Amino acid sequence: MTFTEQLLQELAEAGGRIVKTGSGPELEKWPSRIAAARRSGRIPETKELYGGWCRGGYEIKLVDIPAWRLASLEPVPVPSRLARPHSVVRAMQSEPQPLGLTKPVQGRALRLIQALITATEKAGHSSAAGQTGFAPPPHRRRRASPHFTITAQGQTVEFLVLQEQDRTAHVATEKELAEAKKNSWIRIPRFDYTPSERLRFVLSGSQPHRASEWVDTPSRPLEDQLAEIAQEVTLRGETAELRRLEEIEAARQKRIRWEAAMHEARVQYAEAYRVRRFEAQEAAWRHATQLAEYVSAVRNRVETMPPGQTRTEAEAWID
């Protein structure tokens, strides 16, 4: 039996989670062992092997892969030209420098956006334009205002379309060398940055699932990743809707608990009120009984008094 098979058997017997404890080299080997198990090809296709440090040692879990990651996604077709641009794309086309991109990549970026918006609107989502002619500075480009938004089930996902930069070693000029020699505070840059033809989509809003950024790579251009981006928008909308329904249910349960507590409080108050009323009535009855006995005793006493003014006054007082 291989190590991976032994590990899978141990996980199955432990309910899918184990924690390796101890110290020293033996414990430190587990991250590389988990990596090797993932590469072995023996992990079930619908499962994912997870390993990470925890308070008690090294935690290993075998979890189900979410259904959305196993779903087969249909490719999103990208138009070769913008014959009927979407209103969001038209707003971008009206800008002198759409999205702040250089001309060599503007057309492709607009076609990618057109394809993404078309695919998400088929899924029932809506879109709107943002700051379509705005290019954020490099140091804060991921915190800039969105270029456009797509709303799924009430959840708005913001999009930034960014142009990647190529970095090359900077060759100092004679002027820069002279200035740096003359002034100690002058620093010659180490690199030069030039806009490339690679694009990056940055998403923000709600809970990420697959990722929050998609970028062109040599083996996988953004055209091949649009289906994942469209799915990400849908997943974020579904998650936001689920959270909204959970909040509504939590508020409903809270209301039910409050109403039950108020009903119990009313019952207890009514019971306490009845007890106080009975106690007050009992005290009044006891007082009236004692007073009646007293008056009867006084009347008996007056009847034994000899006739005269004192008896007459006493009888009048009693009456």
- Among 105-109, 190-194, 229-233, which is the least confidently predicted range? 190-194
Out of 242, 257, 283, a domain closes at 242
| Any domain includes 292 | no
pLDDT greater at residue 141 or residue 100: 100
Cα three-residue angle 68-72-78, rounded to 5 degrees:
110
Confidence of residue 15 (pLDDT cuts 50, 70, 90): very high
Same domain? 60 vs 149? no
Same domain? 159 vs 207? yes
Tokens of 111: 């076609």
| Any domain includes 25 | yes
Sequence-ordered alpha helix ranges (H) in 40-149: 67-70, 87-93, 103-122
Strand order from edge to edge, sheet including 17-20: 17-20, 57-64, 47-54
Q: pLDDT tens digits for 204-240?
A: 998 999 999 999 999 999 999 999 999 999 999 999 9
Measure CA 117 to chain center.
24
Same domain? 114 vs 224? yes
Strands (E), 65-212: 126-129, 148-152, 155-169, 191-204
| Any domain includes 178 | yes
- Among 73-82, 133-142, 177-186, 284-293, which is the least confidently predicted range? 133-142
Is the pLDDT confidence value at 100 over 90?
Answer: no
Same domain? 139 vs 196? yes
> What is the count of structural domains for the chain?
2
Q: Which domain holds residue 187?
A: 87-242
| Any domain includes 186 | yes
Collapsed DSSP state (helix, strand, coil) of residue 314: helix
Same domain? 21 vs 97? no
Pairing of strands 126-129, 57-64: unpaired
Q: Which residue has the tokens 């000899």?
A: 306
User: pLDDT over 90 for what percent of the chain?
Assistant: 62
Confidence of residue 63 (pLDDT cuts 50, 70, 90): very high
| Any domain includes 283 | no
pLDDT value at residue 317: 84
Same domain? 105 vs 50? no
pLDDT greater at residue 144 or residue 119: 119
Same domain? 104 vs 224? yes
| Any domain includes 163 | yes
Out of 242, 272, 288, a domain closes at 242
Q: What is the pTM assigned to this prediction?
A: 0.72
Confidence of residue 173 (pLDDT cuts 50, 70, 90): confident
pLDDT value at residue 260: 96
| Any domain includes 229 | yes
| Any domain includes 160 | yes
Same domain? 148 vs 232? yes
* Maximum average pLDDT range among 165-174, 270-279, 296-305: 270-279
Confidence of residue 181 (pLDDT cuts 50, 70, 90): confident
pLDDT value at residue 138: 62
Confidence of residue 140 (pLDDT cuts 50, 70, 90): low
Same domain? 108 vs 175? yes
Same domain? 10 vs 112? no
Strands (E), the chain: 17-20, 47-54, 57-64, 126-129, 148-152, 155-169, 191-204, 213-215
Same domain? 30 vs 115? no
What mean pLDDT is reported for the chain? 90
Out of 214, 242, 270, a domain closes at 242
Mean pLDDT of 107-121: 96
Same domain? 61 vs 97? no
Is the pLDDT confidence value at 133 over 80?
Answer: no
Confidence of residue 137 (pLDDT cuts 50, 70, 90): low
